[in-house]
Structure 1
């Protein structure tokens, strides 16, 4: 281990998600050899993100204003809300240019192992948004893993009495993939969500 400031930096970098001890050490030594101006730009960007960025008061997406750009956009369809786990999911969906509705960011997913329940997510805020009767469809675009499925199931059951149509994005085989490499769940979903072919 290293002395003082170097070890402190390695320790702090190691607390970031996806950064193990070796990566933390590599990043720390990269920063040590980098130009001072580059390191200051990084430090300023870190301070600035904590000072300026907040969560949208409507959907929970990241924003520098009280409402994000998507919620302020009057051209978006307010009758359809796409529920996602994190703000990065909004970016992924927006890249497709296929969805013109609004979003609701939960801030995570239900995970009993990690002690995260429905009350730790923005579920109450979602129910409040649905109570005005404007929303006709709720797309549950949570991750297709155990936690994401549990979250989608919980929300679907909670919303059912409200009479809102609840959908889930189709999932299945990736384009360019081989059947032999697909796991059973993915292959099963692909067959479940099959569609007719027009010639």
Structure 2
């Protein structure tokens, strides 16, 4: 096999290791990169290098940042008494897109999963408890995912935070807009019924 083929295979293998990218997509991306102008390919490589070198985690909330604090923690206009707890950084982006939450966040860095060997010591739980006490947090909104692991994590956090005297809330679960009741699973329907509001 020629050096070019070895290099192409290495590129495909590297792209295929990205989440959500299969071999076909990796091959398509590799050929796109090779067909692109050299400046475009170099710009992509440079962006990756700069991002890896300059972006880290906010020491306060765990969000991604390229400065001392992330933009949300550094924003004085954010409500300081409300703390929304999420599993991963990407969950912040999803909530921010709604424009419905004006408080601050705390990223756990995952969720409890004994099957995968992830326990409380692997999550940023101690940091969360410290923030609740040090930052005069009035409400903690648990926004973990509606999975077995997410529910387990939320229940664990409730037990850990309740003694601190902070108000604990859980994001509502229900049917998606455009959803069909007959196709909803039992847990979603149960959550939708228990989370109903007055009209």
- Normalising by structure 1, we get a TM-score of 0.93
Q: Secondary structure at the residue paired with 1:25? A: helix
Q: Is the 8 A contact 1:83 1:142 kept in 2?
A: yes
CA displacement 1:74-110 (0-9 Å, x = unmatched) = 1212111000111211111112111111110111111
Question: Which residue of structure 2 lines up, in the alignment, with residue 33 of structure 1?
Answer: 35
Q: CA deviation at 1:114?
A: 2.2
Of 166-175 and 19-28, deviating more is 19-28
Question: Which residue of structure 1 lines up, in the alignment, with residue 123 of structure 2?
Answer: 121
Q: CA deviation at 1:132?
A: 2.5
Matches within 5 A, 1:91-130: 91-130=93-132
Question: Which residue of structure 2 lines up, in the alignment, with residue 79 of structure 1?
Answer: 81
Q: Structure 1 CA distance, aligned partners of 2:178 and 2:82?
A: 31
Question: Which residue of structure 2 lines up, in the alignment, with residue 131 of structure 1?
Answer: 133
Q: Structure 2 CA distance, aligned partners of 1:85 and 1:76?
A: 20
Q: Secondary structure at the residue paired with 1:131? A: helix
Question: Which residue of structure 2 lines up, in the alignment, with residue 176 of structure 1?
Answer: 178
Q: Secondary structure at the residue paired with 2:137? A: coil
Question: Which residue of structure 1 lines up, in the alignment, with residue 149 of structure 2?
Answer: 147
Q: Structure 1 residues 43, 165: CA separation in 2 closer, same or farther (over 3 Å shift)?
A: same
Question: Which residue of structure 1 lines up, in the alignment, with residue 46 of structure 2?
Answer: 44
Number of residue-to-residue matches in the alignment: 197
Question: Which residue of structure 1 lines up, in the alignment, with residue 197 of structure 2?
Answer: 195
Q: Secondary structure at the residue paired with 2:198? A: coil
Q: Structure 2 CA distance, aligned partners of 1:41 and 1:187?
A: 48
Q: Structure 2 CA distance, aligned partners of 1:133 and 1:64?
A: 23
Q: Structure 1 residues 74, 142: CA separation in 2 closer, same or farther (over 3 Å shift)?
A: same
Question: Which residue of structure 2 lines up, in the alignment, with residue 11 of structure 1?
Answer: 13
Q: Which of 58, 61, 82 is equivalent to 1:59?
A: 61
Question: Which residue of structure 1 lines up, in the alignment, with residue 158 of structure 2?
Answer: 156
Q: Secondary structure at the residue paired with 1:83? A: strand
CA RMSD across the alignment: 1.6
Q: Which runs of 5+ in 1 are unaligned?
A: none
Q: Secondary structure at the residue paired with 1:175? A: coil
Q: CA deviation at 1:133?
A: 6.3
Q: CA deviation at 1:149?
A: 1.2
